[in-house]
Structure 1
């Protein structure tokens, strides 16, 4: 597998977002400025609460199939490989990792059975698009931590996806969860979200390496990132962290991540979080405290490593 030098591009975009000229310009900028060879697109599926059984992906809060297919075609035209990662979220703001139900079906209570039926419909819809458009990878969801113990349902879902989609199949587990997923054998590539504290990279990579060796599968970070907020390198997963702007701390986190990870031959790449479809103007980069790297020192760090032969 070619080494993944990637970014998540314009995730959870609303309908019409991928029709805008600035979105295509932003994708051009990403390729030209950072030297990527791979993007992950993230269609949005929404359920009301963590205990809702129905996932909607046809409202105006999700890009249309037509615009998704068009931007996939454009990405491939400019030489990028593409992964689709349809991801479920909760409208009430609860993080998707907390979607959860009783282990056994109970009358008059929401059920895993119903939720997985809806989740499967959601995934298979986009698996068909991935097959139709020639996407190189399909990632069957992201950070669904409480559901991962439902091994039987996940194995069935991956099997159903393979009936439709013939490319590489992965699943994006959350940080610290790599060793808890028991069904890595049924995917082609193990992937996870690499939001690890700057000082912990070596320790966490040691732990992940045991998982990779056990299942003998390729591995890549389907997400990784750090905000340019002071203190973020210690808690890079905390998107609500308050603090002053610290562009160098963000850049140092990326430098440490690359230096630690690229010593491990079993790591097959990265897809950083994230690159917006509608960029701020460059003169605002020095005041931006988010995960964005556009116009920041971290962008230069990423390009330096992506320009290397791997």
Structure 2
């Protein structure tokens, strides 16, 4: 006996068509931000500065934004609630090693994960932030890939010819981002980060600053390392503010109290104030932050280790470090802001365990300390 013929219900066909349409819309929405081209001249509607005025004290209340594969207004909402008025966006250039005189510029999308560091991602993120009254500091970094040093402060050429080649290559790298910042009307530009062994070449840096000012009209800074580089820079007068990567060691004690941390800031404060007085320029901490560990104040520049996820976190120490930092510097009239390291868009309270020991203040008492100070004077 043959099987009866199957009759396809009309209602099921209609349902399948609706489902297919929804899948197409979802795929289009998911891929749209990554498909944005990288125009050097964005639409006129995107070039306006933030509609809201800056806080009366003019301070940069910032966080170091981690570029991801997309950005939405929901990602930015927690910043507004925390009093954040600036983000630092950090695209990367690459070097094969510390003595390699060539900087590789990658402006496209190396992978979906790093869309936020591409030209398109930077401009898109800045536009979204601007809609919420948040300004952007563009802060390109270098990354060393090969042997000869893992930190950019180790960059050191072995001949004068290589130094000239390096500055030529680096100039092409940073001028690209200067043009991008001007095209997107980004609000400030950092021309270099922790390039400690290069700053002795004062003439080359001054020439580069002149070139940058020809293509970008916004304020400029340089992000000098805490360990002494900020005192070695001789071209602060050519920039608009002094940038310091403020990872100063404050105490070797585990879980130190705030009083110990305040005492630990006395000598760094004296050194920073001396440079500020010499050049009569405002100071901004282009980076500052602390891990959520008992030794957060001992070596603040050290990244969390993989095994840190197995040890108890210390949110109270991180919060105390934040409190001592703000209490020391926020009252100083020459101190014009800070960029907290760092902020992960969309991070949830029950997010990856490795974030628990990380620098981020998100969903920790340190975020409340940051927010309280950021909201003062707004």
TM-score by length of 2: 0.74
Contact 2:304/2:358, CA 8 A, preserved across alignment: no
1:3-49 per-position Cα deviation (integer Å, ceiling 9, x unaligned): 11111111xx4xxx34x24x6533332232x2101111111111111
Partners of 1:300 and 1:85 in 2: CA distance: 26
Contact 2:287/2:339, CA 8 A, preserved across alignment: yes
Please point out which of 183, 188, 200 is paired with 1:132: 183
Contact 1:212/1:218, CA 8 A, preserved across alignment: yes
Give, in angstroms, the shift of residue 257 of structure 1: 0.5
Task: Kindly report the root-mean-square deviation, in angstroms, between the aligned alpha carbons of the 2 structures.
Answer: 2.0
Partners of 2:172 and 2:245 in 1: CA distance: 24
Contact 1:285/1:295, CA 8 A, preserved across alignment: no
Contact 2:101/2:157, CA 8 A, preserved across alignment: no
Query: Between Structure 1 and Structure 2, whose CA radius of gyration is higher?
Result: 2
1:141-179 per-position Cα deviation (integer Å, ceiling 9, x unaligned): 111111111111111111110010011011110113221
Partners of 2:312 and 2:155 in 1: CA distance: 33
- 1:72 pairs with 2:126: yes
- 1:87 pairs with 2:154: no
Partners of 1:258 and 1:119 in 2: CA distance: 34
- 1:43 pairs with 2:111: no
1:280-299 per-position Cα deviation (integer Å, ceiling 9, x unaligned): x2024887001011101100
Q: Which has the higher contact order (CA 8 A, sep 6+)?
A: 1
TM-score by length of 1: 0.89
Specify the alignment match of 2:168 in structure 1: 117
Segments of 4+ moved more than 6 angstroms: none
Specify the alignment match of 1:262 in structure 2: 330
Unaligned runs of 5+ in 1: 106-110
Contact 2:291/2:304, CA 8 A, preserved across alignment: no
Contact 1:46/1:57, CA 8 A, preserved across alignment: yes
Specify the alignment match of 1:96 in structure 2: 152
Partners of 2:231 and 2:92 in 1: CA distance: 27
- Mean Cα displacement is larger for which, 65-74 or 85-94? 85-94
Secondary structure (helix, strand or coil) at the match of 1:57 reads: coil
Specify the alignment match of 1:108 in structure 2: none
The 1:214/1:49 distance shift into structure 2, 3 A limit, reads: same
Unaligned runs of 5+ in 2: 1-56, 251-260
Specify the alignment match of 1:202 in structure 2: 266
- 1:30 pairs with 2:79: yes
Partners of 2:192 and 2:73 in 1: CA distance: 25
Specify the alignment match of 1:166 in structure 2: 217
Partners of 1:150 and 1:71 in 2: CA distance: 34
Please point out which of 104, 123, 129 is paired with 1:56: 104
1:70-101 per-position Cα deviation (integer Å, ceiling 9, x unaligned): 11111111101111011111124701111111
Specify the alignment match of 2:287 in structure 1: 223
Specify the alignment match of 2:373 in structure 1: 305
Contact 1:228/1:247, CA 8 A, preserved across alignment: yes
